[in-house]
Structure 1
């Protein structure tokens, strides 16, 4: 491999597989992955990088890795701590307990629609493509919750151009991010991206812009509350300048992505790991069906303390870390995990490696929900008693702690519980897929086709 395209591919591999520390082998606690960038693989580094604040402001500032040239970085991609705090003040009320409760009927509606579609289509010889359906479910729900946009992918059984375009940006996103890490490659990188792929990101931004304008036009006339209600209440004038509109478009897009990508990853992976681990699948199904006698009894409130279900979600988040990078930060000149990092050097943490490190987790490459159970639980196993559960931080910490963690937990619990109460799941024979061999990532996680049968369960008694 000596062509420029091969060089670009190699650089991309260095960035992303080094961050993940290929095959989870512990190469070192500190690894250099770019000319001015290092990755830590210790829990202490998580605290030192992401939880370091002065007067409530982060001191290790976010890099421009996610700046795709729109002129506005919105909320989650904003690098300026002051600007980010100002945007957050407007958005955070959308994630209050009261706001989450108001969105519950919408969440229930989409989960019930998924269940209905599985009754209709799931019990066939070939089953359904789990990757497609978890994508459609999560995107349909997130678009509606974010800006009352109805994609109807589950209803129609096919991708919209919007979601197809988003998923098509994955490789281009990687190329742009690699170019920032290796500036010498930047002039060459775009030459080796197919024109169709080059158009994906601008096309996606344009589609999003059009939908945000539609949402502005129907203020006060939506079927249910959404996130835009909090960013653009009726007593505030609608945005008129290009700058104001772009800002709203960026924040809205990021809220959609935050509600779509992690949720579809966890739902797909939870089913995948459960079907690959029959004991865990059986234990969870028994817990759900013993806890609830009726489908309609399953609500976010009644699921909070269903212990094995929560353990399964924790273990899914550990086994398949949803973030695709280590959330890079620019050092102010500080000590991280006993290593002094000079000012301006970019540092980050490989949660992927930490979660697969035998120093912190027993048998880390395999799926064991039992590690998250309390000692008094019947399925608790003492072989996991020395696991360092505090080093597991799927929603980060500090000023940029994920604000959507509560609604995400609620959605995932509800989806899994209602699905497993209703159906017996069966993976179609001949699918010898594994996480290390068949899951891969560019700017977005990609998963293999996994076909699953949904066998309807008729409860008696």
Structure 2
């Protein structure tokens, strides 16, 4: 996609009825709200995932704007600033467990896979907030079974999307991939069953803890919002929230370790700001300017969601970045093409947090939109920043990190699906003498 945009420009026809864009204006036109314009609804791609196949849509898969608006209204309380502060203790418990594990596993000569461990951490955090208890993923160095199940459930959606693009070949492909598709269908069903069972357990459990479901259960009408629909939402929270957070942090760590001067500046900012581990919180990390810049740069150079999110041009047609389009055309802004284009960023493959500080006349920063835009933008943005800031700061406040495989190439060794399939990222960790509460 990057090469296609480099060759043909910021608007590229990539299928008979589909156009990909790579400009900042296309983000605004496709995903934002424009006065006097009909919204661009989500494409059919969203109909292939968990729960959607059994007739239950979620905050991510629902395509009808009016229904999505209702969902967003009753889910909003779970993601408000007040709720995030109430949930901080739950997040901190998992983060602190992770920090202790880094000291144990990172002291080994071979190091440990920080990418996989971050995925387990984010999975535990979102599971705890979504279902009322952590999955226990951090307890093992192997991937938690539910992580594999949920990712395979997403793979089913990918394959459905591909088959829809090649209708003549569909029958042949369905025969050739029959066994694989059955496995993926089983994983999708298992993900639905696990999610529903966990939600029902949380609904029936009396608790004073403040998690996602606290607000959702308070605000919903049970006759309108079923446990199954809440399970669909919770499944989305776990899959989308955990993978994107862990991806950003893994990318950050890799690029910090490949750029010692950047690492030194960030570590100096963190360690000069905090004298004690307990001081590190959501609010206290908000003022760290270079940290914010480094995280934004990690999300630019390695967008957490790498695919273009498809939308459909309204029936009467519209324009995107000055291009007139008939109704029914599928459009999207490709994050990778937008973020790594030389037309949008100077030296785009270089990790430069300074892009995000002060005046910048060389880069079009609006081309990077990791949380998307408009009414379909990420609801979990505040939670993401809570996790990103506190995990990164606690990790770098306590440990000096070392990359085990210094010749690895993060982008080259990654695989792009709906979300990234990331390479192993082995690091060693040495406590610099910091006191960490038990």
TM-score normalised by L of structure 1: 0.87
The answer to whether the aligner puts 1:441 opposite 2:416 as a matched pair is yes
For residue 411 of structure 2, give the secondary structure of its aligned residue in structure 1: helix
The answer to whether the aligner puts 1:191 opposite 2:167 as a matched pair is no
- 2:366 aligned residue (390, 393, 399): 390
Aligned to 2:230: 248
Structure-2 separation of matches of 1:453 and 1:403: 35
Aligned to 1:456: 431
Aligned to 1:381: none
| Cα pair 1:424 1:456 within 8 Å, conserved | yes
- 1:282 aligned residue (245, 253, 264): 264
Superposition deviation, residue 355 in structure 1:
1.1
Residues 329/123 of structure 1: CA separation in 2 closer, same or farther (3 Å cut): same
Structure-2 separation of matches of 1:113 and 1:410: 16
Q: Specify every segment of 5 or more residues in structure 2 that has no aligned partner in the other structure, as ranges.
A: none
Structure-2 separation of matches of 1:270 and 1:23: 27
| Cα pair 1:172 1:193 within 8 Å, conserved | no
- 1:49 aligned residue (27, 30, 35): 30
Superposition deviation, residue 343 in structure 1:
0.6
Residues paired across the two proteins, number: 428
Structure-1 separation of matches of 2:4 and 2:13: 17
Residues 125/410 of structure 1: CA separation in 2 closer, same or farther (3 Å cut): same
Q: How does 1:362-373 map to 2 (within 5 A)?
A: 362-373=346-357
Q: Specify every segment of 5 or more residues in structure 1 that has no aligned partner in the other structure, as ranges.
A: 1-17, 376-383
Residues 443/290 of structure 1: CA separation in 2 closer, same or farther (3 Å cut): same
Residues 235/30 of structure 1: CA separation in 2 closer, same or farther (3 Å cut): closer
- 1:108 aligned residue (68, 73, 92): 92
Superposition deviation, residue 372 in structure 1:
1.0
The answer to whether the aligner puts 1:127 opposite 2:102 as a matched pair is no
Aligned to 1:178: 162
Residues 268/190 of structure 1: CA separation in 2 closer, same or farther (3 Å cut): farther
Superposition deviation, residue 169 in structure 1:
4.0
Superposition deviation, residue 237 in structure 1:
4.4
Aligned to 1:33: 14
Structure-1 separation of matches of 2:125 and 2:198: 18
- 1:292 aligned residue (254, 266, 274): 274
The answer to whether the aligner puts 1:61 opposite 2:41 as a matched pair is yes
Superposition deviation, residue 431 in structure 1:
4.2
Aligned to 1:412: 388
Superposition deviation, residue 210 in structure 1:
3.7
Residues 226/200 of structure 1: CA separation in 2 closer, same or farther (3 Å cut): farther
Structure-2 separation of matches of 1:211 and 1:169: 12
